[in-house]
Amino acid sequence: MTLRIYNTLSRKKEDFQTIKPGKVGIYLCGPTVYKHAHIGHMVGPVIIDTIARYLKYNGYEVKFVNNITDIDDKLIHRAAELNTTVEKLAAEMTQDYFDNLEIMGVDTITEFPKATDYIEEMQNMIQALIENGHAYPLEGDVYFSAEADKNYGCLSGRKIEEMIAGTRVEANDKKKNPADFALWKKSRPGEPAWDSPWGPGRPGWHIECSTMSRKLLGDSFDIHGGGLDLMFPHHENERAQSECCTGKKYVRYWVHNGLMQASDAPGKVGGQHDRHGDVVADQEAQEANKLAGSKGAASVKELFAIHPAEIVRLFLLSTHYRSPIAFSDENIQEAAKGIEGFYRFFETFERITGISFYDLPSSEDRDQSVSLEGTPSEYFQQLSELQQRFLEAMDDDFNTGGAIGNLFELRSTLNALIHSHNLDGEGKEDQALVEALKTGACLLKELSNLLGVFRKPCKKDQEADDGLANQLMELVLEIRKEARESKNWDIADKIREGLAACQITVEDRPEGSLWRRG
């Protein structure tokens, strides 16, 4: 089975083939660092991180670039609002972004270029575009001439004439053609500015990506990611600039992720776009729903205070990356209930084998995958089949939702082995079966790690280790144990119910009682 990937450019799935054998260059449009990231900003990184993991697993060497836009109008406005400098604000928000990526388990990004570090290269590219007739300076600005690119519109599927006919392009502009866009913007007094052949100014929005990707990945590279909302105008313009400058095909596969929707956002979308609805209110509602505006979108950190990041990650991956995903506490909680079964399994596994699931060896290479032969043969056959189905799903345009389904089935298979041979009891003396269980657990680790989850103990589990709570629980469970031994069920049940009210679940097992939060 070969890897297939949906390409926005062709609007269909294509066989994946890299430009350089064995190597993959990926560019993902990163954030403008003017405010704290919200969960929607994590979708792209999580998805591309998962793709990068999968490509590495398949033997590719991956170079993954994620830019930081640290100069932009929004940044200038926000810094003024907060009475700080653009540099300070950008530095702070960049750190916030890095923190969030770490918490989300995104660690495959190899470079984080900052726009302000590439001003000179951008100017060179702009100059080249002017020289070959694709751009023109005008009163301190420089514009790209959309008409000069005969392919303009090929990525987003639109035509210049139609866009102009749409009349929402402002006509009063001094630009030659309304579809033209700024490569360089003249600065006003007090704004951050760099010297240039066209006067002091700052780069336009799109040019940084063209410049930095070229510098770090070359004139042509394999995968370009970003949110669907960036397809136009950002990616279209980026593509046009780059191709007009280099004369080469810019990107092989354009990967656009669907946008997250706040399903419990204030102001439901009316669906009366072209009727007599209140257009302004409607737009606001859409904005809120998309999570892109400041309205109603909690920062990632606020979110992680409520939900473990790993669960959020799995929630993001439970639906296909190109589909929109409805984000709400309720939906995450529902997903969490299913995912927690994995943590129960890890506990059981450790009880049986004395080994932490997280310490198991697991292959990061498809060719060195865990060997799935042995007895019980039926069990191993199931493992093998689940592995195959998991990989087939991933091969099919990174169908993480389908892959996760197989992960759940794999868990059931392992639990069934434990159950049918009583491995969590006397059966654990059977070394061969315990080994079989370990093999299955290694497979689970190998596959789940591809999705970037279950790599280290979840924060929630670690919290349960705090000293005072442990001491208190030890005492309470000791008292309860005595009550149970004298068959004083009323007391025993009262304690358990009381703990349940404190969000503590007690589990009575033959060898003693366990407890956990939630």
Partner RNA sequence: GGCGCCGUAGCCAAGUGGUCUAAGGCGGUGGAUUGCAAAUCCAUUAUUCCCCGGUUCGAAUCCGGGCGGCGCCUCCA
Q: Interface residues for RNA in 132-171 (CB under 7 A)?
A: 156-158, 162-163, 165-166, 168-169
Beta carbon nearer to RNA, 186 or 290? 290
Rounded to the nearest whole angstrom, what is the least distance from the CB of residue 159 to RNA in the complex?
7
Alpha-carbon span 121 to 245, nearest angstrom: 13
Beta carbon nearer to RNA, 127 or 240? 240
Q: Is 260 exposed, middle or buried (0-12, 13-18, 19+ CB in 10 A)?
A: buried
Alpha-carbon span 508 to 500, nearest angstrom: 14
For residue 203, the cross-strand partners are 184
Alpha-carbon span 134 to 241, nearest angstrom: 8
3-state secondary structure 320-358: CCCCCEEECHHHHHHHHHHHHHHHHHHHHHHHHHCCCHH
Q: Interface residues for RNA in 297-326 (CB under 7 A)?
A: 318-320, 323-326
Alpha-carbon span 283 to 73, nearest angstrom: 22
505 binds RNA (CB under 7 A): yes
Q: At 327, phi and psi to the nearest 5? A: -105, 125
Rounded to the nearest whole angstrom, what is the least distance from the CB of residue 28 to RNA in the complex?
8
Backbone φ/ψ region at 513: left (φ over 0), alpha (ψ -120 to 50), beta: beta
Rounded to the nearest whole angstrom, what is the least distance from the CB of residue 20 to RNA in the complex?
26
Q: Which two tokens stand for residue 278?
A: 């209140």
337 binds RNA (CB under 7 A): yes
Rounded to the nearest whole angstrom, what is the least distance from the CB of residue 377 to RNA in the complex?
17
Alpha-carbon span 347 to 341, nearest angstrom: 10
Beta carbon nearer to RNA, 127 or 141? 141
Beta carbon nearer to RNA, 138 or 154? 154
Beta carbon nearer to RNA, 66 or 127? 66
Alpha-carbon span 177 to 149, nearest angstrom: 13
Site mask for RNA (CB under 7 A), range 196-235, x = bound: ---------x--------------------xxxxxxxxx-
Rounded to the nearest whole angstrom, what is the least distance from the CB of residue 438 to RNA in the complex?
17
Q: Which of 155, 259, 433, 444 binds RNA (CB under 7 A)?
A: 259
Count of residues of this chain found to bind RNA when the rule CB under 7 A is applied: 90
Q: Interface residues for RNA in 171-190 (CB under 7 A)?
A: none
For residue 512, the cross-strand partners are 509
48 binds RNA (CB under 7 A): no
Q: Interface residues for RNA in 424-483 (CB under 7 A)?
A: none
114 binds RNA (CB under 7 A): no
Beta carbon nearer to RNA, 354 or 512? 512
Alpha-carbon span 361 to 439, nearest angstrom: 10
Q: Interface residues for RNA in 342-361 (CB under 7 A)?
A: 344-345, 348
Rounded to the nearest whole angstrom, what is the least distance from the CB of residue 396 to RNA in the complex?
6
Beta carbon nearer to RNA, 166 or 374? 166
Q: At 258, phi and psi to the nearest 5? A: -70, 160
Find out whether 433 and 418 touch, Cβ atoms under 8 Å.
no
Q: Which of 36, 224, 411, 438 binds RNA (CB under 7 A)?
A: 411
286 binds RNA (CB under 7 A): yes
Looking at residue 426, what DSSP letter applies? Answer: G
- Judged by CB under 7 A, the stretch of 19-27, 410-418, 435-443, 456-464 that binds RNA is 410-418
113 binds RNA (CB under 7 A): no
- Cα angle, residue 17 at apex, residues 317 and 448 outer, rounded to 5°: 25
Amino acid of residue 440: G
